[in-house]
Amino acid sequence: MENETNNIQRKIIHIDMDAFYASVEQRDNPEYRGKAIVVGGSPEGRGGVVATASYEARKFGIRSAMPSKRALQLCPEVIFVRPRFDAYKESSRKIREIFSRYTDLIEPLSLDEAFLDVTTDKLQIGSAIEIAKQIKQAIKDELQLTASAGISVNKFVAKIASDLNKPDGLTFIGPSAVEEFMEKLPVEKFFGVGRVTADKMKRMGLHTGADLKKLSEQDLRQHFGKAGGFYYKIVRGIDTREVQPHRETKSLGAEDTFAYDLTTIDEMNAELDKIAKTVHERLLKYGLKGRTITLKIKYSDFKQITRNQSFPHPVNALDIIIKTTQQLLLSTYPEDKKIRLLGISLSNFNEVTLPPENKNGQLSLFDDM
Ligand code: DCP
Ligand code: MG
């Protein structure tokens, strides 16, 4: 794969807004500035989860996806703010407009982050660091918001780098630093490695990129499937995925394969509850609502079925997702079989820009490998 034509080193920038929803609220409501605020959740701590927390609130340990009740325990003065998705979408649109001054190769991953390929840039600036600085400055001047940038030779490293010096960060991992950076990286920081995989790696004594590097490609594939092939390359700094400007994904979801087959409806409902929460969080993160909810079931004999229900209006509420999928599950009875996997997804969005997904409904790292 390293032939002459591939020797051109890419320049990739990953931009991610700082405490995005909370920063928009602090900008638009001066009374929230300098205060611990969370967007989402409910003020009485009755229910709901935190979408995001201002940096002031994070000092108390408040984080995205945390139950409101817990946030209130950590900081009794915290202010709960109702989300205004239209405002976030508007800021998101403006940020993308700023990006487009420099390149047309823009791949948004959610409302607040995107990859940019600036190997050649429209203004012939040349330096990716300089471009990132200018973009950050334009976001400050025109939107009164801060962003963090990661700059490197591939998407994987750029994405991790943008998170290293938040907020208002700018982190450059140059070509000669990539391999050492990957060796030192803890496996749980690998973008796309979920908690389950990270735990599995640790049980195998694999804690960092350097540990993964000791395994052959065959070993990695044996333990981690297709992803293993990706890990083999990425720990060597090789990630040839292109920035894809016109990517459109049609559904967003999550699924879980169980260690034991499920036999009772109570167990199944409990699992649906958990999966629905993950899906709900993702919908919030991407600012999306869908008109169709789909339930996927795989039985212990590997037979797979899907059932879906559509609504006249787009939905994203957790209780609707739970209720609908539980009803869809019931509609499959009597199906006297054990269940190995359950999945929930939403589709029929009004949006066009979405993160890439693989068939498991998770952010995909492996499509182009
Ligand atoms: N979001 C959400 N639920 C989550 C995670 C995020 O609703 N579980 C929303 C709110 C965030 C936005 O998506 O503001 C962007 O997500 P990020 O993960 O980039 O988080 P922030 O931008 O809030 O903070 P950071 O400065 O860490 O990027
Ligand atoms: Mg962010």
Q: Using a pLDDT cut of 90, give the percent of the chain over it.
A: 72
Domain contains 241:
no
Question: H helices of the chain, where?
Answer: 20-28, 55-58, 68-74, 85-99, 128-143, 155-162, 178-184, 195-203, 209-213, 217-224, 226-234, 265-286, 318-331
Q: Which pLDDT value is given to residue 250?
A: 78
Cβ–ligand 1 distance for 19 under 6 Å, the answer yes
Higher pLDDT, 34 or 357: 34
Other C-beta atoms closer than 10 Å to the C-beta of 299 total: 18
pLDDT tens digits along 19-29 = 999 999 999 99
Residue 297 sits in the same domain as residue 363: yes
Report long-range pairs for 118-125 (Cβ below 8 Å, ≥24 apart).
118/11, 118/12, 118/13, 119/8, 119/9, 119/10, 119/11
Over its C-alpha atoms, the chain yields an Rg (Å, rounded) of 22
- The range of the structural domain enclosing residue 38 comes to 21-83
Residue 166 sits in the same domain as residue 204: no
Distance 68 CA to ligand 2 centre (A): 20
The number of the ligand nearest the C-alpha atom of 22 reads 1
Cβ–ligand 1 distance for 103 under 6 Å, the answer no
Distance 103 CA to ligand 1 centre (A): 25
Residue 169 sits in the same domain as residue 184: no
Domain contains 157:
yes
Residue 130 sits in the same domain as residue 159: yes
Q: Which pLDDT value is given to residue 249?
A: 61
Q: Which pLDDT value is given to residue 350?
A: 65
Q: Select which of 107, 113, 255, 357 is catalytic.
A: 113
Q: Which pLDDT value is given to residue 45?
A: 64
- Using CB atoms within 10 Å of the CB of residue 248, give its burial: 0 to 12 exposed, 13 to 18 middle, 19+ buried: exposed
Q: Is the pLDDT confidence value at 352 over 50? A: no
Residue 278 sits in the same domain as residue 349: yes
> d(Cα 243, Cα 368) in Å, to the nearest integer?
11
Domain contains 243:
no
Residue 9 sits in the same domain as residue 116: yes
Cβ–ligand 1 distance for 163 under 6 Å, the answer no
Cβ distance 79 to 37 under 8 Å? yes
Highest average pLDDT, of 44-53, 57-66, 190-199, 330-339, comes from 57-66
Domain contains 297:
yes
Domain contains 239:
no
Domain contains 244:
no
- This prediction has a pTM of 0.77
Out of 83, 98, 124, a domain closes at 83
The number of the ligand nearest the C-alpha atom of 19 reads 1
**Span of 59-63, 190-194, 196-200 with lowest mean pLDDT:** 190-194
Domain contains 330:
yes
Out of 145, 173, 201, a domain closes at 173
Average pLDDT over residues 345-366: 53
Distance 153 CA to ligand 2 centre (A): 21
Q: Which pLDDT value is given to residue 332?
A: 87
pLDDT tens digits along 286-329 = 878 899 999 999 998 888 899 999 999 999 999 999 999 999 99
Domain contains 49:
yes
Residue 351 sits in the same domain as residue 324: yes
Residue 15 sits in the same domain as residue 60: no
Cβ–ligand 1 distance for 21 under 6 Å, the answer yes
Q: Is the pLDDT confidence value at 211 over 90? A: yes
Higher pLDDT, 244 or 150: 150
Q: Is the pLDDT confidence value at 192 over 60? A: yes
Active site residue 113: yes
Residue 153 sits in the same domain as residue 220: no
Cβ distance 241 to 191 under 8 Å? no
Q: Whose CA is nearest to atom 16 of ligand 1?
A: 285
Q: Which pLDDT value is given to residue 174?
A: 96
Residue 185 sits in the same domain as residue 257: no
Question: Reduced to 3 states, what is the DSSP secondary structure of residue 322?
Answer: helix
Q: Whose CA is nearest to atom 28 of ligand 1?
A: 18
DSSP letter at 360?
A: T
Out of 39, 64, 83, a domain closes at 83
Distance 87 CA to ligand 1 centre (A): 15
Q: Is cis: bond before 167, omega within 30 of 0?
A: yes
Residue 73 sits in the same domain as residue 10: no
Q: Which pLDDT value is given to residue 196?
A: 82
Q: Is the pLDDT confidence value at 356 over 50? A: no
- Using CB atoms within 10 Å of the CB of residue 119, give its burial: 0 to 12 exposed, 13 to 18 middle, 19+ buried: middle
CATH of the domain at 64: 3.40.1170.60
CATH of the domain at 157: 3.30.70.270
CATH of the domain at 202: 1.10.150.20
Distance 330 CA to ligand 1 centre (A): 34
pLDDT tens digits along 131-182 = 999 999 999 999 999 999 999 999 999 999 999 999 999 999 999 999 999 9
Domains of the chain: total: 4
**Please, which pLDDT band fits residue 56 given cuts at 50, 70 and 90?**
very high
Pocket residue to mutate for ligand 1, from 15, 111, 112, most atoms within 8 A of Cβ: 112
Q: Which pLDDT value is given to residue 368?
A: 31
Residue 256 sits in the same domain as residue 135: no
> d(Cα 148, Cα 152) in Å, to the nearest integer?
14
